[in-house]
Structures are given as structure tokens and as C-alpha cells.
Amino acid sequence: MSLSTSGWAQILGPRYLGATVTLCLGVALLAFNSFLAAIALPSAVAELGGLPLLSWGTTLFLVFAIMGGAAAANFKVRLGARRALLVAASIFIIGSLIAGLAQSMPELLVGRALQGLGEGIVAAICYALIPELFPSILVPKVFGAEAVVWALAAFGGPVLAGFLTETLSWRAAFLVNLPIGLIFMALTLLVVPKAEAPRHKSERLPYIRLMLIGAAIMAVSVGGVLASPGLTALCLGVAAVALYAIVRRDETAREKLFPSRAFALDDIVGAGLWVILLMPVAQAATAVYLIFALQALWGLGPLLAGLVSAVMAVFWSLTAIAVAGVQSPQGRMRLIIAGPALLVSGLTIVATGFGLDSLWAIIVGQVLIGIGFGASWAYLSQTIMEAARPGERDRASALLPTIQSAGYGIGAAIAGLVANSFGLAGTASGLDVKSAIVAVVIAGAGLGVLGLFAALAMTRQMRLAADPARI
């Protein structure tokens, strides 16, 4: 297949280049600032004090990003995509400015919260715009381009933040967002069409449900850093009950946050949202503990351990590019199933690698995990977008990055619960560390199996929708 017919030349050609760059930049801002905290915040604490507040720099960004993402579809309806993006980008820039000029940790945390809120809305609306700005045949290519952006952020984000922190100041790592954010706003004005007058001026934001979502994710985040397995389990239980109640209430509410039948396994969109949630929940096992384990057990330096961790992101990108031309419904369904299946296989091999002290096995497992995400993620996302009921595509599309972020937060808390149950928090024994890490990764594989079941349920509904006579 030539470049001209593959679609890559089209999304990078004159007609779609502006849209491609704009949407990828919106996603890049979220990706970069997700990796930023681990590099810049320790230096900020060294200058400003407030060590007990260090973890809140990440927690508040995540909580407000998820709240913003959950509200993004409502903002898009009320303001139109262009105005909503401009408002959200302004919030993000103000947050970056406050964080970069902060004179105390509480001020910095306010900035991080505003960053998360603005960028959560930006990323969600960028997802919702993909099927609006591109024809269906090019959508997988756009997701492939965004996968490359995430991989570059995984490599370049920490490097850029570290360079700015070392050569200038930790403040520069926040203030660099200002020119990037302004460029994004300029591109938005040029690329995103001006919306018609809002059709639902009376529609209100469901503030109570949004605050409950924030509280639930806060409980998950707090549970993830507690040393007590019992308290972590309590936090996760409270969050699960709250999120279940929110979804059930949303079904009958006038102002909705979720598409109809969200998380129902006998619905394409509902089952697909489970896959979008459970794959990051499972992969969080390695996202949280892989680098620590490689350093603690085998003495790998930060660079080499980081490279092993980044293998997953690289193969996610390469695979997303390789499969972006699949057009047949059967081929797409096979890739959707292959994603969680490869994820489970990869996590199992990673656990085996730690058990057998084999670095090569861990690398192979990381490769399979990356291939699993790369093979399935674009078609999962596109199928959910296209299967959404009339008038609900924005809601379904905007939820995708939000649920993905929530999945990583929930998965990190579960990984912490398992690790601490095996004594990781208070042990200095290499054997105990190994046992805890193996248990964490095996637990992740088990959660991945649930994602595989959800993928099978999703593809079954896809087959029934394609052939109603089979019902």
C-alpha cells in the first residue's frame, strides 16, 4: 500500500495537517504534564517546603483532569467545541502560570488542580473532535499519530522537564506550558469550526455528580499511597460504591455525563467502556512498580530501568501505525480481542521474568503489552464512537481519555493494596520484594482477564448488530 493511499499522507497533507497537529498537541499537553510531576515537584518541594504535600501534586492533577473530562461533553454542547477549547486552554495556562510562580506548596497545588481541570477538558474534546474532523477511514491513523505522541511524551517529557529543572529552574518546567498553550489556542482558532448557537442553553452541569466523581477518584488516589492494606481496601470500596451510584443516577438524570447504557455488557458502548477501563487498570501493575523493581532487585540505573519501561510505549506506537489500515469488521473485532489477550500474556511473562530473574523475559512481556494496546486501542475507541446513540457521540468520545486516566488511578491503588499486603511497604529483603512484585503483576494479569471477557462481550454485540437475524 502506497503512502498516498494508506491515509498517512492525507492526515499529514494540506487538508488535514492542521487538525492532526491541533488534536495531537492537545493530547501532548496532557501526556507531558502527566509525566512532569515526578521530575519537577521534588525540586519544588526542596525550595518551597511542604514535603507531606508532594504526592498531592499528582493526585490533584489526576482528580481534576477526570472531573474536567467527565464534564467536557456538556461544555462542548453549551459553548461549542472551539469556545470550550479556548476556555479550557485558558484555565490550563492560568494553572501553569500559578504553579510556575508559586511561593508556597498550597499555591503550587492550586495551579496543578487548574492544570488538570483545563487539560482534562482539552483532551476529552480533542477525542470528541476526531470523528467530526476526519472521515471514518482516517480515524485509526489519527489514533496512531496520538500513540506516537504518547510514546514521545514517555521519552521526551521526563527528559525535557529534567533539562529545564537542572539548567533553569523547576518553575521553567511549568512555565514552558505557556507558549505551548498559546500555540494550541491559535491552532484552535484556525482549525476548529465556529459552532452554531448552542441548542441547549438551559442544560445545567451536574455539579453534584461531578463532585462525587472527584471525591471517588480522590479516595482511590489516597488509597494508593496508604501503607495499610485495610485502609486501602476501604478507600477502594467507598470509591466503587460511589462510582456505581453515580452511573446509576446518571441513567435517569436529565443532564447526563455518560452515554446510555454505560458499562452494560450487552451493549457495544457499555462493554467497550469496560475494556477501556480494565486494560489500564491491569497495566498499572507495571506502570507503577516496574522501574522500582528493576532498580531494587537488580540494581539497574534509572536510565536503563526507564528504557525497559518505555519499551511498552514504543511498541504501542509501532503497532498502532502497523494496524491502522485494517478495514474489515472481522479484522477489527479480532484486534479488539487480541488487545487484552496480549496484555494478559505480557503481564504473565513479566511476572515469570521476575520469578526467574530473567530481564529478557520482562522485556518480551513489555513488548507484548505494548502490542496489545497498539493493536486494539484505536479500534476500541472508534467502535465506541461510531456505536454511540444519536446525540451521544460527543459524550462517548469525550469519556475515553477520562476513563483511561481513571483506570490507571484505580489500577495504581489496587497494585499498592496487593504490594502492601505482601509486605512491600516495610521490607528490605530482596526475596520479599520479588514476591510482592510477582503478586502485583499476577493480580494485574487477573484484572486483564476481566478486560478480555469485556472485549468478548463487546465483539459479540458487534456481530449481533451486523447480523440482527442472529439475535
Q: Write the pLDDT tens digit of every residue in 287-301.
A: 888 888 888 888 887
Contact 269, 261 (CB under 8 A): yes
* Amino acid (1-letter code) at residue 31: A
Please state the φ and ψ torsions of residue 262, each to the nearest 5 degrees.
-60, 130
CB 382 within 8 A of CB 138: no
Rounded CA-CA distance 185/403 in Å is: 25
* pTM score, whole prediction: 0.86
DSSP state of 101: T
Residue 298: all three cell numbers together: 537488580
* 12 vs 143: CA distance, rounded Å: 13
CA distances for 317 relative to 61, 149, 183, 201, 427, angstroms? 25, 8, 25, 40, 37
Alpha carbon distance 84, 76 (integer Å): 6
Query: What number of CA atoms fall less than 13 Å from residue 245's CA on the CB side?
Result: 14
Query: In terms of C-beta density within 10 A (0-12 exposed, 13-18 middle, 19 or more buried), how is residue 175 classed?
Result: middle
Q: Can you tell me which residue has the cell 476500541? A: 380
Banded pLDDT at 167 (limits 50, 70, 90)? confident
Amino acid 1: pLDDT: 38
Separation between Cα atoms, residue 180 and residue 171, nearest integer Å:
15
Tens digits of residue pLDDT in 130-166: 888 888 888 888 888 887 887 777 666 666 777 777 7
Distance (Å, whole) CA 171 – CA 430: 38
Q: Are 257 and 206 in contact (CB under 8 A)?
A: yes
Could you read off the pLDDT of 80-90 as tens digits, one per residue? 889 999 999 99
Taking only the tens place, the pLDDT of each residue in 357-404 is 999 999 999 999 999 999 999 899 989 988 988 888 888 888 888 898
Tell me the pLDDT tens digit for each residue of 396-415. 888 888 898 888 888 888 88
Closest CA to 317 of 378, 381, 364: 378
Domains and CATH numbers, the chain: 1-199 (1.20.1250.20), 258-471 (1.20.1250.20)
Q: What is the pLDDT of residue 430?
A: 59
Which sign, positive or negative, has the C-alpha torsion 39, 85, 120, 281? negative
C-alpha cell belonging to residue 386: 461510531
Q: What is the rounded CA–CA span in Å between residue 1 and residue 227? A: 54
| Per-residue model confidence (pLDDT) at position 264 | 92
| HSE value, Cβ hemisphere, 13 Å, CA-based, for 25 | 20
> What are the Cα distances from residue 405, in Å, to 68, 307, 320?
12, 22, 19
Do you know the residue count of the chain? 471
Give tens-digit pLDDT for 168-196: 888 888 898 899 999 999 999 999 888 66
Q: How is residue 198 annotated by DSSP?
A: P
What is the widest separation between alpha-carbon atoms in the chain?
Answer: 67
Q: What is the mean pLDDT of the chain?
A: 85
| Matching residue, cell 480481542 | 337
